[in-house]
Amino acid sequence: MTCRNRIFLTLTVLILLTLSSVSAFSQNAAALLADGDRIFELDRVYSRSTLFITRSGRKQAPQVMEGYDMEAPDGTARSLSIFRDPPRVSGTAYLMIGDDLWIRFASTGRIRKMSSSAKKNSAAGSDFSYADMGEGSKSFSDQYEAVYDGRERIDGTACYRLILTPRPGEGGTYEKLTVWITEEGHRYFRIRYFDKGAPIKVMDLEDYRPVGGIDYPFRITMRSLAKDSVSVIVTEVMEFDSSRVEERFFSAAYLETIR
């Protein structure tokens, strides 16, 4: 075999190995996404968190909220968020059952069922939407299909990059997501959200701690790409299979009892 033939054969083998590797990762994109989705596997979750919002360099008063998440027997995600502090927002609540959203307004005590498109709107004046804050156990795998898009190192962390698009009939909240999942541990590291063909915001998930055998991010940062604004949710309490989470919480009638 001539030297030229050996070089050609070596290059051919390398190309085939590369194509095989890319194909394997593409086939495993769904598996990578499912691994990241383990944070949605917790049920009967109680949490107490603080929302910090900074606009144009100015910090707003922190908002304290309690969260209750529970899956219905039919698999429907249910989530209730209640704001407790400061006084001006105390009693504001968001209830999500599947694709349905109700809001209790603290200023008037009124309860309003919102249209499905309202899930994209800002929650509590933050960079998180109602959907971001209240989709409970509804995972990305439930809503989106994943395609492998390569590997990337971000801030020293090696990640797999996936492109997510809505599943037919599932009506994902966003038209596209770019998701970075860590090579080690397969945890969500960063998510970029797209709307109308352009990126609109980026979420970073940090400070993972074990809860119910699953690592959960206790600090989530959402940065707007359209304005000078950043919102951070820091979780202080997280309980899995919590006795504080009750069936009766997940109804519009319960919202009327909140003060």
Among residues 230, 150, 166, 219, the alpha carbon closest in space to that of 188 is found at 219
Q: Which of 11-20, 40-49, 216-225 has the highest mean pLDDT?
A: 216-225
Kindly tell me if the per-residue pLDDT of 136 is higher than 90.
no
In this prediction, residue 118 carries a pLDDT of 80
The arithmetic mean of pLDDT across residues 176-202, rounded, is: 96
Query: pLDDT per residue over 58-69, tens digit each?
Result: 999 999 999 999
In this prediction, residue 178 carries a pLDDT of 97
Which pLDDT band holds residue 44 (cuts at 50, 70, 90)?
Answer: very high
Which pLDDT band holds residue 209 (cuts at 50, 70, 90)?
Answer: very high
Kindly tell me if the per-residue pLDDT of 3 is higher than 60.
no
The arithmetic mean of pLDDT across residues 84-95, rounded, is: 95
The arithmetic mean of pLDDT across residues 219-236, rounded, is: 97
The arithmetic mean of pLDDT across residues 235-254, rounded, is: 96
Kindly tell me if the per-residue pLDDT of 7 is higher than 80.
no
Contact (CB, 8 A) for 94 and 80: yes
Domains of the chain and any CATH numbers:
35-255 (2.50.20.10)
How is residue 247 written in tokens?
A: 């069936």
Q: Which of 81-85, 115-119, 235-239 has the lowest mean pLDDT?
A: 115-119
3-class secondary structure per residue, 72-100: CCCCCEEEEEEEEECCCCCCCEEEEECCE
The arithmetic mean of pLDDT across residues 18-41, rounded, is: 71
In this prediction, residue 132 carries a pLDDT of 86
**Percentage of the residues of the chain whose pLDDT score is greater than 90:** 66
The more confidently predicted of residues 39 and 93 is 93
Q: Which of 37-41, 63-67, 166-170, 228-232 has the lowest mean pLDDT?
A: 166-170
The arithmetic mean of pLDDT across residues 189-215, rounded, is: 95
Rounded to whole angstroms, the Cα distance separating 181 from 189 reads 5
The arithmetic mean of pLDDT across residues 153-177, rounded, is: 89
